[in-house]
Structure 1
Amino acid sequence: MNRYLKYGLSTVVVAFSLGITTVVLASGFYAPAAPAEGPYFNGPYLGIGAGIVHAHVDANEEGSGEVTVEETTHYNFDKSHNFDMGKCGFNGNVFVGYGKTFESSPSYYLGGEMFGNYLSPTLKGSSYSYTNPTGDGQKIMSMYTEVKNPYSFGGDIRGGYLVNPKTMVYALFGLDYAQFKVKSGFGYQYIDMAIDRHVAHDFSKWKLGYMPGVGIETGLTAHVSLRAQYTYTFYSSFSKNVLNGDDQQPQKEYKEKLVTKVKPSTGLFTVKLSYLFN
């Protein structure tokens, strides 16, 4: 082979080898910078939660009965009772939201959220009274109330302060639209006159409540965060009246009334897991 050709090929091989070596060394000394990460609490998210709910109801019940015998003799039965009832139970929660971190020194967060709740407690109360005045026979009166708030849904606005890039404390204010199922009843007996009556109602009511709260949220992974939150929701009172009459029994006429007034509130502590599309 022509010696000049040999020299040329050798020069190409050496140059190619030096080029590869230079690129490798350069890549080691001049690694490209990693892209800058955006704020952790930024963008849409969804999640689930579970916790403890303390349901409270202040229920007032008033019942009355009037019995007329042979259109001349009247017997009146009146009873009222205030049921101050509270009970703890289980809460399940789903939610979806969107938020934005405003980077500054310090950094702040603002976002909105929609949620749905399941709540387990059923509150029950009862009251009995017994009288036996001279010449008036035995009178027995009873009352009961049952209130359940199984479902609610609503939305809130969260404002937070970032302790570090992946941890924030926050306050919130929202509206909670809740269903309340109420059962109540009033019964009375007059043993000597063979009177045994009962009036009741069973109704459902949706109420809008105001919900302030506080919480803390911290990142577990690049897209999963853990949150602990407490909210207290208070609702306006609502009531139901029922009137009952019966003049079909021989020689007896009955007139009855039952009024039930309910004022509920709910305290809720939940632990939540969120998936962040940040």
Structure 2
Amino acid sequence: MDIHLKKGFYILILIFGLNTAVLADGYFGDFNEPTKPVVDSSTISAEDDFSGAYLGIGGGIVAVTTEIKNLTSMDVTSQHLHSYGSDNFKSLGKFGFNADIFGGFGKVFKEKYYLGGEIFGNYNSPKTEDSYDYYVIDSENETQHLTNIDVEAKSHYSFGGDIRAGYTILPKAMIYLLVGFNYAYWDVKTLLVGGKIESGWKIIPTVSADFDKWSLGIMPGLGAEMKLSDRISLRLEYLHNFYCSFKRDIRKSGDIKDRSGNNDHWNSSIYTKVDPSSNLFTLKLSYLFY
């Protein structure tokens, strides 16, 4: 796990633990004051604390991973046909922050079991990107620098819904599992940056292959929730998103002048396949409407 994720996760756990301690103190009172009346926790209804509609906001840390496969080819025709190509695979990771808004409805059954559903909208900050060179061997078996490829994939916005199933471990605290879907908008860019072979006898054009795609993700997760007051709740939550992979093959052609002023015709093919996933650790505050 990324060191930043570990630090962030420990901070979230610490905050949640401190709030739990405050909550427990409020329940059981100060045992050093025997004259203080003891509250019978059996009279406090978990159904009253968690049942109903709610709205909330949240924020935390996110780690995005994109596995990107690029197949590129370039044919340049002047006096002769010259073909170049590359086959590259990259696993790119990036750490950042996320924010979300959500709303839903849930109900406690038999004082212990919780079932509910919610919808949400997310913002994620990370953008995964990389750049790499590829080379060609000329007829004299010398390595000539040809060009480089820039790749970038990002998904800043998504929305979805989930179902939560929980168990109340205290009248004002519960743990839960969830499963849902997350529909994310992905923006992918691949750029073959043009240049020329060092001997100067051939010029290579710059070709871009940009596309966007909505991708559906399956989203399992787990968390814990506790009441800070009659209407305010705090959650600590972990989510993982498995997104469907997607791909695009973009073909372009054109003409470019060489150093002698002659027109060279070129054809290019850029195939890009993206297999993304993400991990989120978030703190969430919600307001319950009875």
| TM-score calculated relative to the size of structure 2 | 0.78
Letter of the 1:243 counterpart? R
Letter aligned with residue 123 of structure 1: T
Equivalent pairs: percent with the same residue? 40
State the Cα distance separating 1:194 from its structure 2 match: 3.3
Deviation at 1:252, TM superposition (A): 2.4
DSSP-derived class of the 1:193 partner: coil
Matched, 1:256 2:261: no
Structure 2 vs 1, CA of residues 135 and 272 (structure 1 numbering), >3 Å: closer, same or farther? same
1:123 corresponds in structure 2 to: 128
**Pair 1:103 & 2:110 matched:** yes
- Is 1:141 aligned to residue 150 of structure 2? no
Amino acid at match of 1:81: N
Higher mean displacement: 109-118 or 60-69? 60-69
How far does residue 134 in structure 1 lie from its aligned partner after superposition?
Answer: 5.1
Measured on the aligned residues, the alpha-carbon RMSD in Å equals 1.9
In 2, are the aligned partners of 1:43 and 1:99 still within 8 Å (CA)? yes
Size of the aligned set, in residue pairs, is 240
Change (3 A) 1:248 1:92: closer
Q: Against the structure 1 CA distance between its residues 97 and 75, is the aligned structure 2 distance closer, same or farther, given a 3 Å change threshold? A: same
Correspondence for 2:184: 178
Q: Which amino acid aligns with 1:201?
A: A
> 1:113 and 2:122 equivalent?
no
The answer to whether the 8 A contact 1:79-1:141 is kept is no
What SS is found at the alignment partner of 1:135? coil
Report the counterpart of residue 68 of structure 2 in structure 1.
59
Worse-superposed segment, 181-190 or 120-129? 181-190
Verify the 8 A CA contact 2:113 2:165 in the aligned structure 1.
Answer: yes
Q: Is the 8 A contact 1:239 1:261 kept in 2?
A: yes
1:131 Cα deviation from its structure 2 partner: 4.3
| Residue number in structure 2 paired with 1:26 | none
DSSP-derived class of the 2:140 partner: coil
**2:98 aligns with one of 88, 91, 108:** 91
> Which secondary structure state, in structure 2, belongs to the residue aligned with residue 47 of structure 1?
strand
1: CA distance between counterparts of 2:181 and 2:220?
A: 9
2:72 is equivalent to residue 76 of structure 1: no
* Residues 56-109 of structure 1 deviation map (CA, whole Å, 9 limit, x = unaligned): 100111111111223xx22111112112101110101100000000025xx100
SS in 1 for 2:188: strand
The within-5 A match list for 1:105-254 is 107-133=112-138, 135=140, 138-187=144-193, 189-191=196-198, 192-247=200-255, 249=257, 250=262, 252-254=264-266
Amino acid at match of 2:241: T
Q: Which amino acid aligns with 1:190?
A: I
Check conservation: 2:162, 2:180, Cα contact below 8 A. yes
Is 1:275 aligned to 2:287, yes or no?
Answer: yes
Gap change, CA 1:136 and 1:187, over 3 Å in 2: farther
Contact 1:81–1:127 (Cα < 8 Å) also in 2: no
Inter-CA distance 50–134: structure 2 relative to 1 (3 Å threshold): same
Separation in structure 2 between the aligned mates of residue 260 and residue 200 of structure 1, nearest angstrom: 12
List alignment gaps of at least 5 residues for structure 1: 1-34
Q: What secondary structure does 1:39 align onto? A: helix
Give distance in 2, aligned partners of 1:132 and 1:82.
21
Structure 2 stretches of 5 or more lacking a match?
A: 1-42
Q: Deviations over 1:21-76 (max 9, x none)?
A: xxxxxxxxxxxxxx986521101011100000111100111111111223xx2211
Cα deviation for residue 130 of structure 1 reads 3.5
Q: Quick one: which amino acid aligns to residue 221 of structure 1?
A: S
Q: Distance in 2 between matches of 1:167 and 1:196?
A: 64
TM-score normalized with structure 1 length: 0.81
Counterpart residue number, 1:47: 56
